[in-house]
Amino acid sequence: MSKLGYTWYPKDWGNSDSVFELSLSERGLYREFIDFAMLNDNKTELKKDVWVRKFSVSMNELNLILDKLLQLNLIEINENILFIPSCENRLNLSRGGKKGKPTRESINNLNNQNKKGASEPISEPTSEQREIEREIEREIEREKEIERLKEIERERERQNNGIINSIENYFKELPTSSNFELISISLNIPKDKLTLKISEFKKTSKLNYLNFNEFCHHFKNYVNKNNSSNLKLKTSFK
């Protein structure tokens, strides 16, 4: 498998309830394990004696941290292989869409290679590996586009909620406003009877009035049009 770089998501890391439970040293080791998983196709050989020296910790401290990570289900250890569940989604892309954890066969093969001292030679990426890398980049762009569309939808909902709140305020304000009194005089309709028209107008009114005056203008037009006396009156006021 090619040793590709990978995208780091600080928001996911910061919002993780499990990571929240970790101390600074526990986070540091878990972060190292994530790098190992991405470099080793999530089949990291357990090398406590090496890690003790590399990370300058005692064997007891190392075991305590491993136990904590196991308890929080951040890592799994199977037949001397350390596995990180959260890395699988990204690794599946670089595997060409294959799903699932490392198989028993792949773990056994890795163990056999380690026993024989085999190592993977470093070579230039093949065309297939380059295509995998491009697919990862495309997937990242798709995720960004999805998030952008979600944000647009959230903003639209916020705007709609604001508009609805404004209309509701217009209906509450109308009966006691000076505009309402002017409409009553202009259409020669008593205010108590004009008030009854508000609930009827509410059923047919639109949502996007520029301001309260425009709202009142539409209300006056509606009442004038639906007035039983059918008087021919002006439909605007200032």
Confidence (pLDDT) at 3: 54
Mean pLDDT of 24-40: 91
Mean pLDDT of 143-160: 75
Residue 71 structure tokens: 């308890």
Q: Which residues of 193-207 are buried (b: 16+ CB within 10 A; e: fewer)?
A: ebeebbeebeeebee
Q: Is the pTM of this model over 0.85?
A: no
Q: How far is CA 158 from CA 92, 154, 165, 167, 208, in A?
A: 37, 6, 11, 14, 14
Number of neighbouring beta carbons within 10 Å of residue 136? 17
Q: State how far the Cα of 114 lies from the Cα of 43, in Å rounded to an integer.
A: 12
Confidence (pLDDT) at 29: 93
Number of neighbouring beta carbons within 10 Å of residue 1? 14
**Higher pLDDT among residues 232 and 175, named by residue:** 175
Which helix (H) or strand (E) covers residue 44, if one does? strand 44-45
Helix segments in the chain, DSSP class H? 10-15, 17-20, 24-39, 48-54, 59-71, 88-94, 104-116, 127-173, 178-187, 191-204, 212-225
**Higher pLDDT among residues 202 and 155, named by residue:** 202
Longest dimension (CA), the chain: 102
Model confidence over 168-224: pLDDT tens digits? 888 888 888 898 999 989 889 998 899 988 888 888 877 677 788 888 888 999 998
**Higher pLDDT among residues 142 and 114, named by residue:** 142
**Higher pLDDT among residues 101 and 150, named by residue:** 150
Confidence (pLDDT) at 66: 94
Predicted confidence band of residue 33 (pLDDT cuts 50, 70, 90): very high
Residue 183 structure tokens: 């409409």
Confidence (pLDDT) at 108: 53
Mean pLDDT of 228-233: 48
Q: What is the DSSP letter of 87?
A: G
| Whether the Cβ atoms of residue 46 and residue 53 lie closer than 8 Å to each other | no
Q: Report how far Cα 80 is from the mean position of its chain's Cα atoms.
A: 36
Model confidence over 88-126: pLDDT tens digits? 877 877 666 544 444 445 445 545 555 544 444 445 667
Q: State how far the Cα of 150 lies from the Cα of 62, in Å rounded to an integer.
A: 42
Predicted confidence band of residue 13 (pLDDT cuts 50, 70, 90): confident
Q: In what order do the strands lie in the sheet with 76-78?
A: 44-45, 81-83, 76-78
Confidence (pLDDT) at 32: 92
Predicted confidence band of residue 231 (pLDDT cuts 50, 70, 90): very low
| Residue 81, strand partner residues | 45, 78
Model confidence over 55-90: pLDDT tens digits? 988 999 999 999 999 999 999 999 899 999 988 877
